[in-house]
Chains A and B, each alone.
Chain A
Amino acid sequence: MAEPGFCGHCGRGLDEVDHDVCRARLRLEPPRYCAQCRRRMVVQVIPRGWSATCVEHGTVSGG
């Protein structure tokens, strides 16, 4: 898989802007944008985990 190029929180390029706030927010919310292609992902949150699926790049998950 290619190096991540996009922020999972705001969807903008990792080199485009500073993402410190986004990284902090991602501690309390799942990513919404695919890190590979910035497509919006289908995200399902359950009490002890989450999964986020990009139609092109598959599923990532967390606890």
Chain B
Amino acid sequence: MTAMSVHIEPSLHDPSQLADLREQVLERGEGLSEEQILSVLTSPDELLPDLLELAHAVRMKWCGPEVEVEGIVSLKTGGCPEDCHFCSQSGQFTSPVRSVWLNIPELVKAAEQTAATGASEFCIVAAVRGPDERLMSQMRDGVKAIKEAVDIEVAASLGMLTQEQVDDLVAMGVHRYNHNLEAARSYFPNVVTTHSWEERWDTCEMVRNSGMELCCGCLVGMGETIEQRAELAAQLAELQPDEVPLNFLNPRPGTPFGDLPLMDSKDALRTIAAFRLAMPRTILRYAGGRELTLGDLGTRDGLLGGINAVIVGNYLTTLGRNPEEDLELLEDLKMPIKALSEQI
């Protein structure tokens, strides 16, 4: 399951070698190639502060100082027929997560809690292969109720879509759709066997052509090689999503990846810098796992190393930091929260 670790000689080992990358990404706004991403990911620890500084400068130049704040909630939890090996909501594993639906009043309450933090985005998530009519109906009612009660953009993550469902979500007023690639194409069969990487790509293409913004991210630290991590960043860059949520594996009990170790924090920070340098203009969001992988200090380093969006509060089945801690951190860093309807 876990890919074999092979030592790679770093091709990037001196701060003076960053001059070419600086010219390419910072000055011209051209993202790194897969080979260049690999050179960043394999660079030594001594170079990490310089890489983070460059990634931060790129983010500030091409995205600005604002940070997009989002809250997420699970509309339909557990009982998923898919076998994503990292996920506690699959019905195929012995995870303790039980199936449950959130009702509309609770959904609106969750949106209100999110808006109260200053967030501009609220994402409704369901653990499904793709939405059936019951879920689409719940979405219609839920999005309408939220829009009547709360001033916030609504996003959705409901698995793989048909063109008709894409059109329905646009008609509901869904602003952004999340569908992650999760892993590099070459590693995906080690992560999911019930659907293909290409099926995910196809849904992302449909969303991108629909008028909704595309949110497409991944999980790192699932046993992929460094080369596969570079491949993943290059594939995401090719897709050109508006937003990339970056998750670090939080091994869940009962799942096939439940016994994997946490990702090394320096590798995680190198990954943040590499993703920013691969996608200079993309919203790069801290998603799940940062609390365990990076802790408080690493979270700050990532915000000063290319990250320009956060999920505040709890995740779908696990808990996050207290939102006030994240908001205080953003204030300390003099990074204003992106206002509603303002484009980064």
B-binding residues in A (CB < 8 A): 10-11, 27-30, 32-33, 40-50
Contact = CB atoms under 8 A, between A and B. Distances in A.
Contact of A44 (B77, B291, B323): B77
B97 interface: yes
A46 B319 contact: no
B74 interface: yes
Contacts of B106: 44, 46
Contact of A11 (B96, B97, B320): B96
22 contacts: A27-B319, A28-B319, A30-B319, A42-B100, A43-B98, A44-B77, A45-B315, A45-B317, A45-B318, A46-B102, A46-B109, A46-B113, A47-B71, A47-B72, A47-B113, A47-B117, A47-B313, A48-B113, A48-B313, A49-B113, A50-B314, A50-B319
Most buried by A among B114, B312, B317: B317
A32 B114 CA distance: 24
Interface in B290-313: 291-292, 312-313
Closest 10 CB pairs of A and B: A47-B313, A32-B96, A47-B71, A46-B110, A48-B113, A29-B318, A47-B113, A42-B100, A45-B314, A28-B319
B113 A43 contact: no
Contacts, number: 65
B189 interface: no
Interface residues of B, number: 29
B102 A44 contact: yes
Nearest to A31: B96
A43 B97 contact: yes
Contacts of A27: 319
Contacts of A48: 113, 313-314, 323
Interface in B93-145: 96-98, 100, 102, 106, 109-110, 113-114, 117
